[in-house]
Amino acid sequence: MASAARSASRAFLRSTPATSSFRPAARSSRFALPSQSLRTSARRGYASEAGSGKSSSGGIWALGLAVAGGAGAYFYLNGEPKGPFVPTKDDYQKVYDEVARLLADETDYDDGSYGPVSVQFHQKPMRKEFTDADSSQHQVLVRLAWHASGTYDKETGTGGSNGATMRFAPESDHGANAGLKIARDFLEPVKAKFPWITHSDLWTLAGACAIQELGGPQIPWRPGREDKDVAACTPDGRLPDATQGHRHIRDVFYRMGFDDRESVALIGAHALGRAHTDRSGFEGPWDFSPTVFSNEFFRLLVEEKWNQRKWNGPAQFTDKSTSTLMMMPTDLALVKDKAFKTHVDRYAKDSDAFFKEFSESFVKLLELGVPFQSKPEDRYVFKASE
């Protein structure tokens, strides 16, 4: 069912005129690299080659050389020892493919619950104990990548995706991270299959995969993150609070080093998925196509009339036309603030501009605070699944 739904979404995108707001932007080729430049000449030591059998006379010969003090004879006969495993772009593409396969296999992927639910702003939610039975309902890979990266503080250089410190309490117990154990557990089989990749790299790669698999822009990505221990956990309060307004948005995004344009672009990921009361306290999707990455979030913000919902949950708003969609206070703050609204209007009219600027901003988010040895031009562009 999931694969069929995904195929239908892609068929819809292919049949939609280029001017439609649902039509994804053409994938940029400016990040593409010659395949040769992405390869490494280092020898691999992850798996050794099968050696050829040796005759008894060969063994005596080797022994004689050793007795004669020919210690180098061993290396002459057996070859140089192989170095550490150095993964290539092809190896990371296999990781991408495995994440994409797991997402496609999930039966609840159709409503955005399994894959890229991008709930970036969170009221501190009601506490809930998650069981194994619940886990299949809460796959939120974009949110995991976002929250692992969004703790960065440019003044202190702390936080960010380098470390994967959400594996530990107290960071894993922060209110904004409620439910993300589900996403972390979802990726553990991938980590077991590819033990050489760090959690930090896996979480961010999975977020890039989730965006691309639902028709979003290409997200150039590069490895180089290292996992850290509990001592590197960040304090609570660094992630956005959905109940706040424009000042709070700027406080959080400026702390990371983003400007107004980049902030609005990143919030546009709300085009994907839906909010859940057992995670953020909010409920409902932002648009009518939660499994297709598009600029609909911005178009609806501008064109639809939003009324405050009467319910027992936190303050949120519903569309006047159908009463089936929702917006958070931080979402509506984007159209109430003149500087923010400039970018909302632009993205609502120009899907290509949104795709391009979202990709650039999301790449920046995933790389905050990472001491890369590689250069930006060394980023990989992964091939999405068929």
| Rounded Cα gap, residues 210 and 103, in angstroms | 8
pLDDT at 11: 52
Cis peptide before 217 (omega within 30 of 0): no
Domain at 117, CATH number: 1.10.420.10
Structural domain contains residue 292: yes
Structural domain contains residue 342: yes
**Whether residue 251 has pLDDT greater than 90:** yes
Segment 78-91 shows an average pLDDT of: 80
Structural domain contains residue 6: no
pLDDT at 10: 53
Q: Would residue 157 be called left, alpha or beta, if left means φ above 0 and alpha means ψ between -120 and 50 degrees? A: left
Structural domain that includes position 205: 88-369
| Rounded Cα gap, residues 232 and 226, in angstroms | 12
Q: Among all residues, which ones are annotated catalytic?
A: 147, 286
Q: How many domains does the chain have?
A: 1
Structural domain contains residue 56: no
Structural domain contains residue 210: yes
- Name the least confident of 27-31, 47-51, 77-81, 363-367: 47-51
Written as one letter, the residue type at 202 is L
Residues 192 and 1 sit within 8 Å (Cβ to Cβ): no
- Name the least confident of 122-131, 176-185, 324-333: 122-131
Segment 295-306 shows an average pLDDT of: 96
- Name the least confident of 38-42, 59-63, 160-164: 38-42
Kind and range of the H or E element at 275?
A: strand 274-275
* Token reading at 256: 């990371």
For 309-357, give the secondary structure using H, E and C: CCCCCCCCEEECCCCCCEECHHHHHHHHCHHHHHHHHHHHHCHHHHHHH
Contacts of 42 (CB under 8 A, 6+ apart): 83, 84, 86
Structural domain contains residue 70: no
Residues 207 and 146 sit within 8 Å (Cβ to Cβ): yes
Structural domain contains residue 218: yes
**Confidence class for position 46, pLDDT limits 50, 70, 90:** very low
pLDDT at 134: 29
The SS3 assignment for 285 reads strand
| Rounded Cα gap, residues 133 and 10, in angstroms | 30
Residue closest to 291 by CA, chosen among 160, 168, 141, 116: 116
Written as one letter, the residue type at 106 is E
Residue closest to 302 by CA, chosen among 275, 259, 273, 264: 264
Structural domain contains residue 314: yes
Which of 149 and 44 is assigned the larger pLDDT?
A: 149
HSE-CB for 104 with a 13 A CA cutoff = 19
